[in-house]
C-alpha cells in the first residue's frame, strides 16, 4: 500500500515591487518552472503581495496570488508597514497555518517569525534575501529571526556564515533563468557589436561611467547598444555627448523581451558596482554571448575564461583592454556552445530541483525527520 504524503502549504510574502526588478524575474521563473515540471513537489506555494506592484507580469505564473494594494506613494506604504502590517500578517498566518513561510523582506520574515512563535506553530520561516549583506545590510535582530535561509550566490552564503548563521541552515540555490537557448550570432562583417542590458545609471549601481569612458579608448569599428529603463538616463546621455560618442552608442530603451530583438552581439558588458546574482550575465551566456563584467561578488561566480572576462571595477582602461581584445580577435573567443554549457545549472528544471530539495530538507527538520 502506497504511503499517503500530505500536501504541504507554503506562503511567499513579498513587499511592494516595481515589477521590472531581478527579484520579480526570479519569482516568475520559479513558478514557470514549477508549473511545467513533470515531477510535482509535495507542496503548494501561495504568494502574498503586500503593497502591490506597478506591473504584475511576474506574478501571473504563480496562479495563487493574493494582492494587498496600499498606495503608489512610498511614504503611505511605509506608514502602513509600520502600523498595520503586524496585524495583517497575524490574520494571514493564523488563518492559513502554513507549514513554511518564505519572505524576501527582512521586516516581513521577522514579523512572521514572531507571530509563528506567538501562535505556537511549527511553521518554518525562511529568509530569501536577494541582495549582498555588505551592500544592503540587515539588522542582526531581523537577520537572525528566521529558521533557514535561501542564498542566491556563494558570496551571500559566505556573508550569512560571517554574520553568525549556521551553514546547516543555509541552502545555496542560485537564481533561475528562462531562455529558449537560441544562439545570438556574432557579426561576421561590419562593426563589433557590444550590448548592455539594465537600468541606465551613470554613477549608481550600474556604473555606466566605466563603460562609456572605456569606449572612448577603443580603436577600430564597433558599436554599443544600450537597452534599459531610461528614467535616470539623462546624465548618461550627456556623458555620451561629452565623450563625442553619439555616432557609436545607441539608446534602445526598455524592451520587455530583449533576447527576441537582439539578433547579433559580439559581447555583453556589465560594469555594476554591486550585484546579488546578475541574471543578465546568465541570460546572455544562455544565448552563447561572451560577457565582460566588473570583478565583484556575484559576477565573479558566473564569469570564467570559458564564457567571458573580468575587469577591475573603476579601471576603465582595463575594461577598454578587455573590449579591444573582442574587437581585435573575435576568433579567440570561446564558442557559443562552450559558453552555453557554463550556465546549464541555472536552467529552470535544474533550479527547481535545488529549490525543491531545500524545501524538502527544511520540512524534514520541521517534522523531526533526520
What is residue 5's predicted lDDT score, i.e. its pLDDT?
55
Mean pLDDT across 161-169: 97
Domain 8-176+347-366, CATH class in plain words: alpha beta
Superfamily of domain 192-345: Glycogen Phosphorylase B; (3.40.50.2000)
- Rounded to whole angstroms, the Cα distance separating 190 from 173 reads 41
Query: Which tens digits make up the pLDDT trace of 181-228?
Result: 999 999 988 899 999 999 999 999 999 999 999 999 999 999 999 999
Q: Give the pLDDT band (50/70/90) at residue 366.
A: low
What is residue 2's predicted lDDT score, i.e. its pLDDT?
42
> Is 366 buried (19+), middle (13-18) or exposed (0-12) by CB count in 10 A?
middle
223: β partners? 193
For the cut 70, the answer to whether the pLDDT of residue 370 exceeds it is: no
Q: Give the pLDDT band (50/70/90) at residue 3.
A: very low
Same CATH topology for 8-176+347-366 and 192-345? yes
Q: Report the 10 Å Cβ neighbour count for 57.
A: 13
Q: Give the pLDDT band (50/70/90) at residue 368.
A: low
Mean pLDDT is highest, among 21-35, 312-326, 353-367, for 312-326
Average pLDDT over all residues of the chain: 93
Query: Which tens digits make up the pLDDT trace of 108-153?
Result: 999 999 999 999 999 999 999 998 898 889 999 999 999 999 999 9
Break the chain into its structural domains and give their ranges: 8-176+347-366, 192-345
Q: Report the 10 Å Cβ neighbour count for 41.
A: 18
What is residue 182's predicted lDDT score, i.e. its pLDDT?
95
- Rounded to whole angstroms, the Cα distance separating 77 from 278 reads 28
Q: Does 299 or 256 have the greater pLDDT score?
A: 299
- Rounded to whole angstroms, the Cα distance separating 295 from 222 reads 24
Query: Which tens digits make up the pLDDT trace of 51-89?
Result: 999 988 899 998 899 999 898 898 999 999 999 999 999
Q: Give the pLDDT band (50/70/90) at residue 1.
A: very low
CA atoms within 13 A on the CB side of 227: 16
- Rounded to whole angstroms, the Cα distance separating 163 from 165 reads 6
- Rounded to whole angstroms, the Cα distance separating 27 from 130 reads 11
Here the cell at position 175 is 537564481
For the cut 90, the answer to whether the pLDDT of residue 241 exceeds it is: yes
Query: Which tens digits make up the pLDDT trace of 6-61?
Result: 789 999 999 999 887 889 989 999 999 988 887 778 899 999 999 999 988 899 99
- Rounded to whole angstroms, the Cα distance separating 152 from 240 reads 34
Cα–Cα distances (Å) from 197 to 29, 269, 298, 342, in that order, read: 18, 8, 16, 20
CA atoms within 13 A on the CB side of 171: 21
Rg (CA), the chain: 22
In the sheet that holds 100-103, the strands lie side by side as 65-69, 43-51, 8-14, 100-103, 124-127, 148-151, 170-172
Q: Give the pLDDT band (50/70/90) at residue 245.
A: very high
What would the DSSP string read from start to end of 173-221? ---------PPPBPPSSSSEEEEEES---SSSTT-HHHHHHHHTT--SS
Query: Which tens digits make up the pLDDT trace of 173-182?
Result: 999 988 889 9
Residue 161: closest CA among 114, 151, 107 = 151
pTM for the predicted model, two decimal places: 0.85
Amino acid at each position: 500500500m502506497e504511503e499517503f504524503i500530505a500536501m504541504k502549504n507554503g506562503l511567499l510574502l513579498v513587499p511592494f515591487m516595481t515589477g521590472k526588478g531581478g527579484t520579480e524575474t526570479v519569482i516568475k521563473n520559479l513558478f514557470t518552472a514549477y508549473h511545467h515540471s513533470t515531477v510535482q513537489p509535495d507542496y503548494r506555494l501561495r504568494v502574498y503581495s503586500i503593497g502591490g506592484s506597478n506591473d504584475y507580469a511576474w506574478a501571473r505564473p504563480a496562479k495563487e496570488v493574493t494582492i494587498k494594494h496600499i498606495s503608489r506613494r512610498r511614504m503611505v506604504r511605509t506608514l502602513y508597514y509600520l502600523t498595520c502590517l503586524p496585524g495583517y500578517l497575524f490574520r494571514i498566518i493564523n488563518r492559513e497555518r502554513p507549514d513554511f513561510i518564505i519572505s524576501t523582506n527582512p521586516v516581513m520574515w521577522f514579523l512572521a517569525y514572531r507571530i509563528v512563535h506567538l501562535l505556537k506553530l511549527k511553521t518554518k520561516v525562511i529568509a530569501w534575501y536577494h541582495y549582498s549583506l555588505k551592500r544592503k545590510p540587515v539588522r542582526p535582530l531581523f537577520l537572525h529571526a528566521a529558521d533557514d535561509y535561501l542564498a542566491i550566490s556563494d558570496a551571500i552564503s559566505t556573508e550569512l556564515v560571517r554574520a553568525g548563521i549556521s551553514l546547516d541552515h543555509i541552502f545555496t540555490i542560485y537564481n533561475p533563468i528562462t531562455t529558449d537557448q537560441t544562439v545570438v550570432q556574432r557579426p561576421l562583417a561590419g562593426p563589433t557589436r557590444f550590448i548592455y542590458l539594465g537600468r541606465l545609471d551613470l554613477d549608481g549601481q550600474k556604473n555606466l561611467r566605466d563603460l562609456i569612458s572605456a569606449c572612448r579608448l577603443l580603436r577600430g569599428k564597433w558599436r554599443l547598444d544600450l537597452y534599459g529603463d531610461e528614467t535616470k538616463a539623462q546624465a548618461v546621455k550627456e556623458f555620451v555627448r561629452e565623450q563625442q560618442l553619439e555616432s557609436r552608442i545607441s539608446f534602445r530603451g526598455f524592451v520587455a523581451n530583449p533576447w527576441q530583438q537582439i539578433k547579433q552581439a559580439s559581447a555583453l558588458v556589465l560594469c555594476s558596482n554591486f550585484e546579488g546574482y546578475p541574471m543578465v550575465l546568465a541570460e546572455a551566456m544562455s544565448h552563447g554571448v561572451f560577457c565582460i563584467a566588473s570583478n565583484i561578488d556575484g559576477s565573479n561566480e558566473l564569469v570564467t575564461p570559458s564564457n567571458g572576462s573580468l575587469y577591475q571595477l573603476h579601471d576603465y582602461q582595463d575594461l577598454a583592454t578587455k573590449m579591444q581584445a573582442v574587437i581585435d580577435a573575435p576568433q579567440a573567443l570561446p564558442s557559443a556552445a562552450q559558453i552555453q554549457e557554463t550556465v546549464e545549472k541555472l536552467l529552470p528544471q535544474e533550479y527547481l530541483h535545488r529549490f525543491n530539495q531545500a524545501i524538502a530538507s527544511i520540512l524534514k527538520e520541521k517534522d523531526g525527520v533526520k
